[in-house]
Structures are given as structure tokens and as C-alpha cells.
Amino acid sequence: MKDLAPGDRPREKLLRHGAAALGDNELVALVLCSGSRRTGALAVANALLDARGGLHGLVRSTSDDLSRIGGIGPVKAAQILAALELGRRTLTRAPAARMQLRTPAEAAAYLLPAFGARSAEHFGVVLLDSRHRVLRTTLVAVGTLNATAVVPRDIFREAALGAAAAVIVFHNHPSGDPSPSPDDVELTRRLVAAGTLMGIDVVDHVILGDVGYCSFREMGRL
């Protein structure tokens, strides 16, 4: 493929225009990575597709079938079969459903194993879609034994970058007692106000203890 102009080389073409812009032979050449001593990867890919009757024949090929093609040994045959199997699995396996956090208890059960019973205070945010399914969970700050410095912009920067429709904010109390402090109450008030301005719903603020939790939503303070 070194003989090709830089803009026509499969790797550069994929990076510039996306995988859909490549022909079958170019995609196979990228899987092969290299050709043989006599010919390049693109020529080997063409020979392979011709011999196997195109992509549909390639899917039904065995390692022995592939190894009969000049320039393809056991390693390249394994690369091709692995790529084909990955493609097959994307068609036969449904994507796992994202977890949906509908209640404070579900949110606490999701968060406690990872963030409860910590020796320092961790403050984070669970990003949710419009159906309150988890997009991702992000730690915003890690503090000391008693406090973490967090401001609303830290939370909503993550929410905006993650295209979240709603958030659950959380932090742990290293003391093990999840009861909210006056600072927790004030921060929650500010977060709700900021969320209203941003159009991002603050579903809950969950404080985690060693094994228990406190939810502002459950307390009716959200």
C-alpha cells in the first residue's frame, strides 16, 4: 500500500472519511495489516475475495481455506476470522440494557458498593438520560476526611459534556453517618437552582454512609 498516494491508502482514507467510504478489499487489507514479500496487502485482499467469492464466501471460510491464499498464513487467517466473528456478534447479540434508577433505593444500591465506606469524601454525579437510565458515573472531586470542595459548575460541566437530561449527585460521609449537614442542604439548594437554569433535572442528592444512605428526595427536600 506504500505505492498508493497517501490519500488513497486505506488507513488514511478511513481516518479521513470513515470506514463506510472503504471498499471490501480495502477493509480486508486493513485487517491483514501487511502483504507478502511479493505483493502488498491490497493485492492479497483482492486475491482472497476473488478466491472466496466475496465477503459472503469469506464468512463461511475456515482457517485452512484462508491459508491456501498466497500471502495468508495462520496469523493472518486468525486475524480475518476474529474480525468476522466480531462482526457476527454485533448482529446476534442485543446490546445490554442500561440500568434505570427509578427510586432513591435503587440509586443507593447502585452507588454504595463503589462509594460507601470510604476513608475520604468522594463527590460525584450519575448522568441520566430522559428515562433515568445511567449514561455514566463520574467522580467530580475527592476531598479529605471531613469535606470536599464542590461547586455547581463542576457538576453541570460533566452533565453538559455527557448530554445528560438529568443527574443524581452523590457523596459519602467518611464518618459512616449519612445524615446531611447544613452545608449539604445549602449545596443541594444551589444545585437544584442551577439545574433549573440549565434545563437539567437534579433527580436526587444521595449521601452514602458505611451501609446506609440518606436521600434528599425521600426526605421531601428536593
Q: Find, among 188, 168, 171, the residue nearest to 128 by Cα.
A: 168
Residue 144 has pLDDT above 70, yes or no: no
Cα distance between residue 44 and residue 183, in whole Å: 67
Q: Find, among 143, 137, 147, 146, the residue nearest to 113 by Cα.
A: 137
Domain membership flag for residue 99: no
Domain boundary among 92, 112, 145: 92
User: Residues 114-139: what's their mean pLDDT?
Assistant: 94
- Give yes or no: residues 74 and 119 share one domain: no
- Give yes or no: residues 131 and 153 share one domain: yes
Arithmetic mean of pLDDT over the chain: 90
Q: pTM to 2 decimals?
A: 0.63
* 154-175 confidence digits (pLDDT tens): 999 999 999 999 999 999 999 9
pLDDT at 2: 52
pLDDT at 49: 94
Residue 3 has pLDDT above 80, yes or no: no
Residue 92 has pLDDT above 80, yes or no: no
Domain membership flag for residue 98: no
Domain boundary among 32, 63, 92: 92
Domain membership flag for residue 196: yes
Cα distance between residue 66 and residue 159, in whole Å: 48
- Indicate the pLDDT class of residue 176, thresholds 50, 70 and 90: very high
pLDDT at 146: 57
The b/e string for 198-215 (b: 16+ C-beta within 10 A; e otherwise) is bebbbbbbbbbbeeebbb
- Give yes or no: residues 79 and 111 share one domain: no
- Give yes or no: residues 120 and 62 share one domain: no
Q: What percent of the chain has pLDDT over 90?
A: 69
- Indicate the pLDDT class of residue 205, thresholds 50, 70 and 90: very high
Q: Find, among 208, 214, 206, the residue nearest to 167 by Cα.
A: 206
pLDDT at 8: 63
Other CB atoms within 10 Å distance of the CB of residue 38: 9
Largest CA distance in the chain: 76
- Give yes or no: residues 86 and 108 share one domain: no
Cα distance between residue 212 and residue 104, in whole Å: 12
Q: Residue 207 maps to which CATH number?
A: 3.40.140.10
* 9-40 confidence digits (pLDDT tens): 888 988 988 989 999 999 999 999 888 778 88
Q: Which range among 32-36, 59-63, 130-134, 216-220 shows the weakest confidence by mean pLDDT? A: 32-36
Cα distance between residue 103 and residue 218, in whole Å: 9
Domain boundary among 35, 61, 92: 92
Q: Tell me the residue range of the domain where 59 lies.
A: 6-92
Number of domains within the chain:
2
Q: Find, among 122, 133, 193, the residue nearest to 163 by Cα.
A: 133
Q: What angle do CA 12, 9, 36 make, to 5 degrees?
A: 125
pLDDT at 119: 84
Cα distance between residue 61 and residue 77, in whole Å: 10
- Give yes or no: residues 109 and 29 share one domain: no
Residue 96 has pLDDT above 80, yes or no: no
DSSP three-state, residue 22: coil
Q: Are 12 and 30 in contact (CB under 8 A)?
A: no
